[in-house]
Amino acid sequence: MCEIIAAVLGSAAPAEVKSDDELREIGIDSLAILEIVVRVEKECGITIGDSEVFEAALRRVDDLVKLVQSHVENS
CATH at residue 42: 1.10.1200.10
> d(Cα 7, Cα 55) in Å, to the nearest integer?
24
Handedness of CA 38, 41, 46, 51 (dihedral sign): negative
Structural domain of 68: 2-73
> d(Cα 41, Cα 48) in Å, to the nearest integer?
7
Count how many domains the chain has: 1
Determine the pLDDT at residue 74.
82
Which value, to the nearest 10 degrees, does the dihedral of the CA atoms of residues 30, 31, 32, 35 take? 120
How does pLDDT run across 24-49, given as a tens digit for each residue?
Answer: 999 999 999 999 999 999 999 999 99
Kindly report the pTM of this predicted structure: 0.89
Q: Which residues contact 51 (CB under 8 A, 6 or more apart)?
A: none
